[in-house]
Amino acid sequence: MGILYPNDYVYSWQHIDVQKLKAIGIKALMFDLDNTLVPWNSGDLQREIRNWFVYLHQTDFKTCIVSNNSKQRVLQSCDFLQTQGIYKAAKPRRKAFRQAMQMLDVSPTETAMVGDQVFTDILGANRLGLYTILVVPMSKQEFIGTRINRQLEKLVLRKIKHRLIQ
């Protein structure tokens, strides 16, 4: 069961402690897209998130979007955020995580994955030894398959709910 638990559990990307990540040797941040950085199926990336990515880059973090979403949607978001991306990632399979680490020229111990789903983002990244950060989903609206997974996630989240950093 430990492979399903994140290292950190935060309310949103805004609550990620980047200084803590730097202190433990993290050099790269991978992000899921839907319900992590933007509400599900929304193209509405806010200026606030773009500014945060600029800040991450200025503080020497490498970034990448790793999403199961379509090429057009991911690349459009990457263009706005001035970052690289991998689309149709097939998470929790490890191939996309490895590909992103190769693009960013980092090792697993230098990489953190930020996502809203235990059975895709956290499981996939934990299988490679990445530092994992689970965020509360931005929206209740989701893909039907995700809604089914959320029922199973409740079992995992019961054990870590007390760790939620707001």
| pLDDT tens-digit map of 38-52 | 887 666 677 899 999
Per-residue tokens: 111: 């990489």
**In this model, does residue 148 exceed pLDDT 80?**
no
Pairing of strands 84-86, 8-10: unpaired
Q: Are 25 and 110 in contact (CB under 8 A)?
A: yes
Q: Report the number of distinct structural domains present in the chain.
A: 1
Can you give the residue range of the structural domain that contains 100?
2-163
CATH number of the CATH domain containing 7: 3.40.50.1000
pLDDT score for 161: 66
In whole angstroms, what is the distance from residue 66 CA to residue 114 CA?
9
Q: Are 36 and 138 in contact (CB under 8 A)?
A: yes
pLDDT score for 38: 86
**Neighbouring residues of 127: CB distance < 8 A, sequence distance ≥ 6:** 3, 92, 94
| pLDDT tens-digit map of 33-92 | 988 998 876 666 778 999 999 999 999 999 999 999 999 999 999 999 999 999 999 999
Q: Tell the residue number behind the tokens 């193209």, with chain if given.
A: 43
Average pLDDT over the chain, rounded to whole? 88
pLDDT score for 46: 78
pLDDT score for 140: 63
Q: Can you say whether the dihedral through the CA atoms of 127, 130, 134, 138 is positive or negative?
A: negative
Which segments of the chain does DSSP mark as H helices, in order? 18-23, 47-58, 71-81, 95-104, 123-126, 144-160
